[in-house]
Structure 1
């Protein structure tokens, strides 16, 4: 299999890396979100690369997603790309014509979307949904709370998972709804995240939506949710890979220039061994991301196994790269002014988005057993 990127993908990566390096500094990042910057990314075609031509984009393949998010990870970009990807893929997979039209608003930067699925007692399980949606005379009434909604306070609309039947942890009985930010009963409380960007707590207090808000079929939202979240898992893995590369580059430069006893510390054999081990681990992470990107369009179990394998690898290796990079920098590695500290925090926190390494290891094992019994 040829893992070389196409010319179009290389051009996209070059343009995005150059734009981020020249226009996206830490002052911009600290704002948490910029509507102007979001539109500028859209003008570059970055959001459109996340969707295929049938949905108004010009990419949509696993490798397109990986290329975009790897570049975003290199610049620690905090704009709501993950929400656009996950919500957009859910709408293109199961939405009606009006809902699919919302994807065009995401692609051109006119709208911001957020996935509202996580709950306080979710424990990363996609089936564990306590928010309720009850049938009314002319639609649905949603009641519940969602936690850690990425860029939730800036979203124009949410994709909300709610239980319409069944037990709280059953696959059957989950439905997906489009909920406008300004709908009556929607309460959003935003807060800054420790690794940059912002998130929000979302409360739904008897929020009324009409039948057109239902995405796909009633009680059958799990498959759509799993597929869309899977694209998000790949995106996070690629983002972390980009951040690892930058942490590696900064550490190598430090080892070449920092001197002790009149020589660069990079000549010390102990540090050379640690750096070599870290480089090998990063390449292992890269292989896992490539495998996940290649199988994003595969059958469910094969796809989900590759995604969980990548997320497990990224969680383990990301923490290792963060720790080793800081330790090899010495005390300066902990300072807020050094970009490395921000990369280290982001690498650690990526592990806790959409399932940590323990969750995905257990999931990989369960999926493997399921595949063997087929």
Structure 2
């Protein structure tokens, strides 16, 4: 595992199940992940789930990252977890826990909301505005969506929310809605950092192995000092991002969480480029071919960095919460 976390029994079992499954299914689909029970994470036992929080979320994302399978699961998990927090007795939770129904979260409740992860195939959407949080049917009145295939291979959707929106449930208003939106943002960002850690760990490992295998002038190119220095830079960037991500995961819910998440985001944004570019360049022309998983992993890393938002804004929040 890329992250060193104090795993709960649930997290350990989930991690082991994912590792066994990925050994036979390197690119798992929604059905496969649902059969593993991942959709039930974050939903309380009494609602049909298995519970779990930040540690379970990070452990799952770090494992799913190299297989490029984390995006849809995270979108569903964050939205389902938010619904469980705001409406723990909601009848939809049981079908979300089995994966029979899919849900995604959009940060906005009116106008145009672009590139909503997981919304392309969602049955339900939570629209988290600045002063209200509502649950709506994805095919309901007042809402339209246009599916988008992204560069990293994931699916998203552009939403158009009209004034005649048909709301199924009003989940929160005012300060409670703002608090829910902030929790969902920070929980998602910490999980994306965990996914990036899993991606980068695989890229560094595969690159180190390739340098040992590839030979020039009769010796492995891993013996070339300049390449060893480049690999060391990649490993250092990974270690820094992993350390701050672990801190962000473990601080969820306390007064230093915002500070820890922004620190992890800033380091991860820098690290995915350092590690990704280094891995591609050290592989030479092979690094961008379809035959290697590396190219897709690098694209996903860049997509994560873009999703995490403005580095300057996180630096400002980091300073403000110091």
Question: Which runs of structure 2 are paired with 1:350-365 in the superposition (5 Å)?
Answer: 350-365=304-319
Q: Pick closer, same or farther for the CA change 1:94–1:11 going to 2, 3 Å.
A: closer
User: Offset of 1:106 from its aligned partner?
Assistant: 1.7
Is 1:226 matched up with 2:185?
no
CA distance in 2: counterparts of 1:162 and 1:330, whole angstroms: 45
Q: Which residue of 2 aligns with 1:66?
A: 58
Question: Which runs of structure 2 are paired with 1:5-154 in the superposition (5 Å)?
Answer: 5-25=7-27, 37-53=29-45, 56-77=48-69, 80-95=72-87, 97-98=89-90, 101-117=91-107, 131=109, 143-154=110-121
Q: Secondary structure at the match of 1:50?
A: coil
CA distance in 1: counterparts of 2:311 and 2:191, whole angstroms: 16
User: Offset of 1:3 from its aligned partner?
Assistant: 4.2
CA distance in 1: counterparts of 2:46 and 2:240, whole angstroms: 34
User: Offset of 1:52 from its aligned partner?
Assistant: 4.7
Does the CA-based 8 Å contact 1:86-1:229 persist in structure 2?
A: no
User: Offset of 1:7 from its aligned partner?
Assistant: 4.8
Is 1:328 matched up with 2:282?
yes
Q: Which residue of 2 aligns with 1:208?
A: 165
Q: 1:287 aligns with which of 232, 243, 261?
A: 243
Residue range with higher mean Cα deviation, 216-225 or 192-201: 216-225
Q: Which residue of 2 aligns with 1:190?
A: 147
Q: Which residue of 2 aligns with 1:176?
A: 133
Q: Pick closer, same or farther for the CA change 1:41–1:96 going to 2, 3 Å.
A: closer
1:215-254 CA-to-partner distances (Å, cap 9, x unmatched) read 1235641101111222111110111111011111210111
Does the CA-based 8 Å contact 1:179-1:213 persist in structure 2?
A: yes
Q: Secondary structure at the match of 1:207?
A: coil
User: Offset of 1:316 from its aligned partner?
Assistant: 0.8
Does the CA-based 8 Å contact 1:84-1:112 persist in structure 2?
A: yes
Q: Which residue of 2 aligns with 1:346?
A: 300
Is 1:157 matched up with 2:124?
yes
Is 1:306 matched up with 2:273?
no
Residue range with higher mean Cα deviation, 215-224 or 176-185: 215-224
**5+ residue gaps, structure 2:** none
Paired residues, what number? 319
Does the CA-based 8 Å contact 2:136-2:166 persist in structure 1?
A: yes
1:150-186 CA-to-partner distances (Å, cap 9, x unmatched) read 12221111111345xxxxxxxxxx1111111121232
User: Offset of 1:78 from its aligned partner?
Assistant: 5.2
Q: Pick closer, same or farther for the CA change 1:292–1:38 going to 2, 3 Å.
A: same
CA distance in 2: counterparts of 1:147 and 1:76, whole angstroms: 21
After superposing on structure 2, the runs of 4+ consecutive aligned residues of structure 1 that deviate more than 6 Å are none
User: Offset of 1:323 from its aligned partner?
Assistant: 0.8
Does the CA-based 8 Å contact 1:80-1:112 persist in structure 2?
A: no
Does the CA-based 8 Å contact 2:10-2:56 persist in structure 1?
A: no
1:183-231 CA-to-partner distances (Å, cap 9, x unmatched) read 1232110010001111111112333335x62112356411011112221
CA distance in 2: counterparts of 1:280 and 1:65, whole angstroms: 24
CA distance in 2: counterparts of 1:48 and 1:20, whole angstroms: 19
1:114-168 CA-to-partner distances (Å, cap 9, x unmatched) read 11116xxxxxxxxxxxx5xxxxxxxxxxx411111112221111111345xxxxx
**5+ residue gaps, structure 1:** 29-36, 119-130, 132-142, 164-173, 369-374
